[in-house]
Structure formats: C-alpha cells, structure tokens
Structure 1
Amino acid sequence: MTNNWDEINWIFEPDGALRDIYVQDVEIEDWKILINYLNTNHIVKYGLVGENKEINKIDLEYLIYYLNDETGELEVKIVSIIIDDIIINLHFFSIDEIEFDIDPKEIYSFDNYKKILDFMNKVSKILNKPLILTGENQRKFPLINVDFSKKTIKTLTKKEAEQLWK
C-alpha cells in the first residue's frame, strides 16, 4: 500500500463516473456472510430505490429471494453503507458477483482512502476472496486490489496505470 496521497488521488478525481468495488465468483453463502457482517458492523440504510422509507437492517430473507428470482418482477432494493462521510452503495445485480459503488468526490483525503481500504480488507477477510476497485463498469482494469488471505493491498499510481494502458 502506498502512503503517498499525491500518487493515488488521481483514482478519485471526480469525472462524472462512480468507482466500483467487485467481489467475483461468489455464491449465495457469501451473500449471507456479507449481509450478516454489514447488519452487525455498519450503519446501513436499506430500502426500495426511490422510496423515502429506509430500514436500518438489511432483510436477508428478501435478498436471497430476490437474487434467486427469475421473473424480474420483484422490487429493486438498495443498501447504503455509511462510513463517516462516505456512502458505499451495494447493488444486487447478480447472484455470482457482489458490486458496491462509491462517489469519488467522497474520497478526498488519505484518511478517506484508508477507510475504503479498511472496508475492502474486512470484506475480503470475511469472504476469503479478493476485491477490486475499478472505474465504473471497468472490471478488467483494477485500480486497487485487496486480498486479505495473501496480505496484499495494491493501489496503482498514475504512472503505473499509464504504462498498463500503453
């Protein structure tokens, strides 16, 4: 992990796009572990998209039902995880991939960057899976890799990213 904010702040420069965090190759058991972890360890807001009523606990039973639904007729719900002044949204797009997103405007300091890394590291630990942070919908180009089991946290510097893009 780099400790120089000047080398990595480019990842969070606002450009109109979100930053995504992915956990790939998950199963329903991973979803259960994640939801139980979030409900126990974080401030969460859970509710229907566009609805003002929010619940402070994720309904695991509904989530499992939703992820297994093939009709596409169930109401879409969203989870917002609150970490100080950062909001991490959790989406239920796929049963085999967990996707979070963050607004890069909220990662404006090294302290906030560390909060995101801490969150990613804890999720990696409880799921025993690596996580990646990417530009919006850019799974193939990870900007940050976190793998608790391998004790690795790798954040690309702008120079490293430019070399990969060539």
Structure 2
Amino acid sequence: MADLLWDDVKCFFDPDLMGSLPDVSVPDASGHNWQDVLDLVVETGWKCQYSEGERVLPLPRAEAALSRPADAECPSLRVWLRADVLAIFRFYSDEEIDFDVDLRELQGQERLDVFCGFLREIGRRLGKPVLMRPEGAHGHPVLGFDVEADRVVLLAEPLSFFSVAAPG
C-alpha cells in the first residue's frame, strides 16, 4: 500500500508552488547519522557520485566529508534512486542531513512511491523523521517520514497550507 496517494499530495509536488528543489532534511543529526546514510547508499546499491567542487572522488567516511577547511567547497553526494530520479546530499553540517530532489522528476504515483520509499529507508535506518519543506522555506514541513507511524505522512493540509503560505 502506498504511503501517500498522488491525487492527495500533487500540489506539494508542483514546482511552481513549492520551488523545483524542495528542502529535505533530517534534523538533530550527527556525524554518525551521516555515516549511516552513506552506509545505506552503499548497501542498497543506489548509484552514487561523491564530489568536492568539480572533482569526483571515491565515497569517503562521513567524518572526512564533514571536516573540511572553512574555505573549501561543500562536498555533495548524488544518489540516483533510479535512473531518472536524483537526490543530492550536501554536507553543510553534521547537525542536519540536507538533500534536494527535483520535483519535475517526481510526477505521478510511481515516482511518488519511489520517493516515499527513499524517505522511509533513511528514516528507518536513522530512527528519525525525514522532512520536506518548500524550497528555501524554513517553516513547517509539508510531508515526511514519521518514525512512530513507520511511513511517510502529510504534515500539512494542502489547501490550508497554500492559503496561508501564499503571498497576499
């Protein structure tokens, strides 16, 4: 059974409303949590590419990715959930795991199911919520993996969220 139904959440996957790259994160994380994510990527066999600036490098331990000089470029990890669905992790801080997805790649029930499965895998591995917010918004998440429910759930009502969030 699907965590979410496309018809119920498609407004949260509209790039014009949410921005094409919504913010997805695991708050209250640690370097250990980052390592768990890296281990998960390897164990699941998701295709991935780690880079620092333009340099593509072998996937390091999380500690090495997070302990760069202040003036160094932020490392990123591209993870393909499938050939046409990409998540990009950025190692900004050990206190929060941040990544982007492109909503243009997440249209329809099948791709929504792939995305929800990805959030579920990360949330289960870490035992933490995985939250999605509109691009650049630091406010209330619209959906995410709920640890207690063990599934991805809506965290905002579509109509009320957009009537409150819309500029007036």
Q: Same fold (TM over 0.5)?
A: yes
Give the residue type in structure 1 aligned to 2:161: A
Work out which of the residue numbers 18, 22, 32 in structure 1 matches 2:35: 32
Q: Does 1:46 align with 2:50?
A: yes
SS in 1 for 2:70: coil
Matched-pair contact (CA < 8 Å) for 1:106–1:112: yes
Deviation at 1:47, TM superposition (A): 1.6
SS in 2 for 1:150: coil
CA offsets, 1:125-159, max 9 Å, x none? 00010111111132322111212343242224522
Number of the residue aligned with 1:11 = 12
Number of the residue aligned with 1:116 = 115
Matched-pair contact (CA < 8 Å) for 2:120–2:151: no
Q: What is the number of residues matched between the two proteins?
A: 159
Paired with 2:95 and 2:136, the residues of 1 have a C-alpha distance of 16
Paired with 1:108 and 1:165, the residues of 2 have a C-alpha distance of 22
Deviation at 1:160, TM superposition (A): 4.1
Deviation at 1:76, TM superposition (A): 2.9
Structure 1 length normalisation: TM-score?
0.83
Q: Equivalent residues in 2 for 1:140-159 (5 A)?
A: 140-155=139-154, 156-159=156-159
Root-mean-square deviation (Å): 2.2
Give the residue type in structure 1 aligned to 2:81: I
Paired with 1:109 and 1:87, the residues of 2 have a C-alpha distance of 16
Paired with 2:94 and 2:65, the residues of 1 have a C-alpha distance of 9
How many percent identity over aligned positions?
A: 19
Gaps of 5+ in 2: none
Give the residue type in structure 2 aligned to 1:73: D
Q: Does 1:23 align with 2:21?
A: no
Matched-pair contact (CA < 8 Å) for 2:105–2:111: yes
Paired with 1:2 and 1:120, the residues of 2 have a C-alpha distance of 12
